[in-house]
C-alpha cells in the first residue's frame, strides 16, 4: 500500500417528532429545482443556436430516462399553517385531509403547502380539526401561486407524489430481477448482513420533454443493532469511548420507518423511559411512544439514546437543526462488517454484483417500469393529474471521440482505451520530465529491513529506463511502514508537509512482499516520487495555446464536522506538466469558496515565472457543487475570477458532476454493453437552458459505467462544442497517479486529492514551499 492507495482506504414533542418523521421547515423550491431555472446558455452567443458537437463516430445509445406526458395546463399552490404548530408530518397530513370534501381527492401535500388541480372557492380560508385528546387545531389555507407544468415547484410536487406512491404500493424496494438479488444475499448470509435494493427516481425537464430518470441503488445492512454493539464492549473503563468511536459519524437504518440517520452523539444520560412533551402538552415516554406509534417494544429501558442532527447538506450548516433522538435497539448498522471488508475475495464478488452489469441493470429497470405501468393505484393517481409514463426508455445519439495520443520524452503512443492502462508503454521509456533521485533517504523500522532492500534494489532497475538518475544520500523522504496505522501516517505527513516540508513517499512493507508484481509496484512508486519532486510522466496535446487549467474541489468532514477544506490546483506551464496547489479552510460544510484571490495570485505568479508571460485564457473545472448552488456559484466564484483576471484574460468555467443517475447503454440484439471510452452525449437528456454534455471517459469491464456531466456556465473563450468536449476528454488522461483514463479532468482530481489529504490527514495548511509539486499524490 502506497500514499495513493492509503487515503482510498432534545426532549420535547417538537424535538422528538422530528426524530421519527423528519423535521419540517418552510422550504422554498430548492435543490436541482432551483438550478433548472438558471439559464446560463443565453449569454453565450457561440452556442445560442446549437450546442451539439460533430466530432467522432456516431453511436446509438439507450438511456434510463422515460418520457413523461402532462395534460394539465395549470395548478394551484396553497400555503398551509397550523395553530398550534405541529411538527409531525403524519399528524399534519391527517388533520388536513379530514377536509377532503372541501379539498377534493386529487392533491399533493408536502407538509407545508398543497398543490391542487383546481382553484378553491376562496383564496383564503380556515379549517378546524379535532385531535385525539379533544384539542382543536386551526388550519389556515392561503393561495400562494398558479403554476404551469414545467414550473420547478410543480415538478417538485410530482417528485413528492411519485416517491409517496412507490412507498405506499411497496414499489420503493421491490425485488425486480429477484434471482440477481438472491445471489447477493447468499454471498452475505454468513457475515450476518443483508442488502436492500431500491430505486432512485426524478422527474425533470430536459431538451424536449419531461422525463422520469430511474436507477437502481443498493444499501448494505448489518443484522446487528447499535445495542448489540454496545453489549459487545466489556471493558467498563473504555466502553463509552469505544462506542463513541465506532458509532459517531456512522449511518444507521431504522426499520420502523425505513429511514437512515447519521449519528452525531451518544447521550448516556437520556434513556428510553425518559419523558418528552407532545404538541398537546401531554407527557409520554419514548417506550410508550414507540409502542403506540409503531407497535414496537423496547426491551432494555436503561440503554442510552443516540442523537442525530439530521441530514447535512452542502452550504446549509447555518440552518438550525433540532436534535433527533433514536433508540439503539431500533437502529441497525449500515455499511460493511469488518469480516466482509477484510475478505478480499468476497469484496471482489460483492463489488461486481452491486455495480450490476449493463444487461442486469436494463432488465431490472425494465421490470420496474413495467410495474409502474401496470400498478392501478399509481396509474389512477397520475391520471387525475393527466400524467402518463412511456414504458420505453429514450434513445439518444452519441459520438465516440478519437483515441488520445500521449507524448513521453521524445516518444509518443496512442492510448488504447479498452486496455484501461498504459503502464506497459510508459515504464520502458524515458519520462517526459525526469527528476533525479540524487538526495533522498529511506526511513523504516528494523522489522522492515528486507522489504526496504527489495525496494531499493528494484528502484535501481526500473528507474534507469525511465531516465531517473539515482544516488544514495534529502529532496525526498521514503518511509517504509510496518502497517497502515492511521495515526502514524498522519504524524509523518504532518511533520513532512508542515514542520519540515519535503516531498515524501509512504509505503506499507507488506506491499513489497508481492514478488510477482514487485517490478510493477516499484515502477508506480518511482513514477509517484518523480511527480512529487516536480517531474512529469507524459503530456497530451490540448489543442489550445497559452491556457491555464484550474481545478477546484472541497472536502467536508462528515464525521467530526470540522472546518471544510477548499483546494485549487492550476497548471503553470503551457504543456500542462507543472502544477501549483493552494488550499483554504472554510466554515463547516461551506462549498462556495469566498477567498479565491490569494490562490489565483499565487497560481498566476507561478505561471509567469515559468512562461515569462501571462496566459491568454483560463479554463476552470469546478467539482463538488451541490444541487441548488448554481446561481451562488455564478454570483460568487465566477465573479471573483472575472474581477481578478479582468477582460484581458478569457475565462471558461465548467461545473463537473460525478454523482448523477443518468446511464447509457449500447444494445446490439440481446446484448447490452457499456458505451466505449470517449462517448459524448449532448442531446435529448441535456437541458436547453444549459451548455452541457456528458462524457463516458473510462472503459469498464464490470458493472455499469457512470458518465460525468459537464455544464459550461460561463465562457468568454468561445469554445465550440467540439473543442470543449475533446479538451475535457484529453485532460482525463493527464492524472499522473494512474497510467489510465480517469472520470474527470486531471486538474479536477488533483484538487480533490489535495482537499482530501489536507482535510483527512494533516488538518492544517501545508508549507508554501511544496506548492509547486504534487506532494499529495
Pairing of strands 547-555, 617-623: parallel
- Is the backbone of residue 543 left (phi > 0), alpha (psi -120 to 50) or beta? left
Q: How many CB atoms lie within 10 A of CB 266?
A: 19
DSSP string, 234-301: --TTTHHHHHHHHHTT-EEEETTTTEEEE--EEESS--TT-EEE-TTS-EEEHHHHHHHHH------T
Q: How many CB atoms lie within 10 A of CB 190?
A: 11
Give DSSP secondary structure letters for 90-152: HHHHHHHGGGHHHH-S--EE-SSEEEESS--SSSEEEEEEE-TTS-EEEEEEEEEEEE-TTSH
State how far the alpha carbon of 318 is from the alpha carbons of 260, 313, 588, in Å. 22, 10, 9
Rounded to whole angstroms, how far apart are CA atoms 503 and 130? 70
User: Residue with C-alpha cell 504534487?
Assistant: 774
DSSP 700-759: -SSS----EEEEEEEESS---HHHHHHHHHHHTT--TT-SS--SS-HHHHHHHHHHHHII
CA distances from 353 to 187, 704, 769 (A): 10, 10, 46
Angle between helices 358-374 and 178-188 (to 10 degrees): 120
Distance CA 536, CA 777 (A): 13
**Residues tagged active-site:** 553, 591, 623, 752
| Cβ neighbourhood burial of 388 (10 Å; 0-12, 13-18, 19+) | middle
Work out the end-to-end distance of the chain between its first and last CA atoms, rounded to an integer number of angstroms: 13
Separation between Cα atoms, residue 301 and residue 329, nearest integer Å: 10
**3-class DSSP state for residue 361?**
helix
Residue 753 gets the label, from left (phi > 0), alpha (psi -120 to 50) or beta, of alpha
- Cell numbers at residue 314, please? 452542502
Amino acid at each position: 500500500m502506497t500514499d495513493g492507495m492509503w487515503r482510498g482506504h432534545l426532549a420535547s414533542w417538537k424535538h422528538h417528532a422530528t426524530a421519527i418523521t423528519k423535521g419540517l421547515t418552510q422550504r422554498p423550491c430548492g435543490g436541482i429545482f432551483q438550478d433548472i431555472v438558471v439559464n446560463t446558455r443565453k449569454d453565450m452567443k457561440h452556442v445560442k443556436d446549437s450546442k451539439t458537437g460533430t466530432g467522432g463516430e456516431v453511436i446509438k445509445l439507450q438511456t434510463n430516462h422515460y418520457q413523461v406526458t402532462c395534460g394539465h395546463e395549470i395548478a394551484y399552490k396553497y400555503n398551509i399553517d397550523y395553530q398550534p404548530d405541529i411538527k409531525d408530518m403524519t399528524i399534519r397530513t391527517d388533520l388536513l385531509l379530514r377536509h377532503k370534501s372541501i379539498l377534493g381527492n386529487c392533491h399533493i401535500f408536502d407538509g407545508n403547502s398543497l398543490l391542487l388541480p383546481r382553484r378553491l372557492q376562496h383564496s383564503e380560508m380556515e379549517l378546524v380539526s379535532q385531535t385525539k385528546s379533544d384539542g382543536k387545531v386551526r388550519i389556515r389555507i392561503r393561495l400562494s401561486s398558479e403554476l404551469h407544468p414545467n414550473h420547478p415547484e410543480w415538478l417538485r410536487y410530482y417528485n413528492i407524489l411519485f416517491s409517496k406512491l412507490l412507498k405506499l404500493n411497496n414499489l420503493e424496494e421491490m425485488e425486480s430481477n429477484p434471482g440477481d438479488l438472491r445471489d447477493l444475499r447468499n454471498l452475505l448470509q454468513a457475515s450476518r448482513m443483508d442488502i436492500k435494493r431500491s430505486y432512485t427516481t426524478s422527474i425533470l425537464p430536459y431538451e424536449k420533454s419531461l422525463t422520469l430518470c430511474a436507477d437502481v441503488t443498493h444499501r448494505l445492512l448489518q443484522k446487528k443493532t447499535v445495542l448489540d454493539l454496545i453489549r459487545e464492549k466489556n471493558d467498563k473503563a473504555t466502553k463509552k469511548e469505544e462506542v463513541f468511536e465506532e458509532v459517531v459519524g456512522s449511518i444507521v437504518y431504522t426499520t420502523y420507518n425505513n429511514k437512515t440517520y447519521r449519528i452525531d452523539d451518544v447521550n448516556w444520560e437520556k434513556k428510553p423511559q425518559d419523558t418528552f412533551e407532545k404538541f398537546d402538552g401531554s407527557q409520554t415516554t419514548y417506550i410508550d411512544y414507540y409502542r403506540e406509534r409503531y407497535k414496537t417494544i423496547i426491551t432494555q429501558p436503561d440503554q442510552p439514546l443516540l442523537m442525530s442532527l439530521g441530514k447535512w447538506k452542502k452550504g446549509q450548516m447555518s440552518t438550525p437543526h433540532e436534535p433527533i433522538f433514536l433508540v439503539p435497539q431500533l437502529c441497525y448498522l449500515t455499511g460493511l462488517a469488518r469480516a466482509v471488508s477484510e475478505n478480499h475475495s468476497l469484496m471482489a464478488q460483492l463489488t461486481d454484483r452491486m455495480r450490476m452489469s449493463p444487461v442486469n441493470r436494463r432488465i431490472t429497470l425494465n421490470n420496474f417500469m413495467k410495474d409502474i405501468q401496470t400498478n392501478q393505484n399509481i396509474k389512477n393517481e397520475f391520471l387525475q393529474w393527466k400524467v402518463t409514463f412511456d414504458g420505453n426508455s429514450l434513445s439518444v445519439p452519441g459520438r465516440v471521440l478519437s483515441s488520445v495520443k500521449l507524448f513521453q520524452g521524445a516518444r509518443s503512443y496512442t492510448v488504447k482505451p479498452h486496455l484501461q492502462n498504459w503502464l506497459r508503454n510508459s515504464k520502458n521509456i524515458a519520462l517526459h520530465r525526469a527528476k533525479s533521485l540524487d538526495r533522498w533517504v529511506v526511513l523504516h523500522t528494523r522489522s522492515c529491513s528486507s522489504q526496504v532492500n527489495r525496494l531499493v534494489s528494484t528502484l535501481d532497475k526500473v528507474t534507469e529506463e525511465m531516465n531517473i538518475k539515482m544516488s544514495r544520500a534529502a529532496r525526498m523522504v521514503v518511509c517504509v511502514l510496518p502497517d497502515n496505522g492511521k495515526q502514524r501516517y498522519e504524524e509523518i505527513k504532518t511533520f513532512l508537509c508542515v514542520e519540515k516540508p519535503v516531498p515524501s513517499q509512504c509505503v506499507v512493507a507488506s506491499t513489497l512482499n508481492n514478488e510477482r508484481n514487485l517490478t510493477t509496484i516499484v515502477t508506480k512508486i518511482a513514477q509517484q516520487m518523480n511527480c512529487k519532486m516536480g517531474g512529469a510522466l507524459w503530456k497530451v496535446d490540448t489543442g489550445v495555446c497559452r491556457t491555464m487549467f484550474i481545478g477546484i474541489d472541497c472536502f467536508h468532514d462528515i464525521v467530526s464536522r470540522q472546518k471544510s477544506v477548499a483546494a485549487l490546483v492550476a497548471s503553470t506551464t503551457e504543456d500542462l506538466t507543472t502544477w501549483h496547489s493552494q488550499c483554504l479552510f472554510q466554515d463547516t460544510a461551506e462549498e462556495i469558496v469566498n477567498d479565491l484571490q490569494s490562490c489565483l495570485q499565487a497560481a498566476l505568479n507561478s505561471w509567469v515565472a515559468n512562461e515569462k508571460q501571462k496566459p491568454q485564457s483560463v479554463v476552470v473545472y469546478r467539482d463538488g457543487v451541490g444541487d441548488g448552488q448554481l446561481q451562488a456559484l455564478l454570483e460568487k466564484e465566477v465573479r471573483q475570477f472575472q474581477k481578478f483576471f479582468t477582460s484581458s484574460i478569457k475565462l471558461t468555467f465548467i461545473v463537473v458532476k460525478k454523482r448523477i443517475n443518468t446511464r447509457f447503454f449500447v444494445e446490439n440484439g440481446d446484448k447490452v454493453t457499456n458505451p466505449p471510452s470517449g462517448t459524448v452525449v449532448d442531446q435529448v437528456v441535456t437541458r436547453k437552458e444549459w451548455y452541457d454534455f456528458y462524457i463516458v471517459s473510462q472503459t469498464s469491464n464490470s458493472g455499469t459505467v457512470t458518465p460525468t456531466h459537464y455544464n459550461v456556465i460561463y465562457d468568454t473563450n468561445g469554445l465550440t462544442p467540439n473543442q470543449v468536449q475533446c479538451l475535457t476528454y484529453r485532460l482525463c488522461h493527464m492524472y499522473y497517479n494512474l497510467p489510465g483514463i480517469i472520470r474527470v479532468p486531471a486538474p479536477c482530481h488533483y484538487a480533490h486529492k489535495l482537499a482530501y489529504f489536507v482535510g483527512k490527514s494533516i488538518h492544517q495548511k501545508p508549507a508554501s514551499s511544496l506548492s509547486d509539486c504534487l506532494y499529495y499524490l
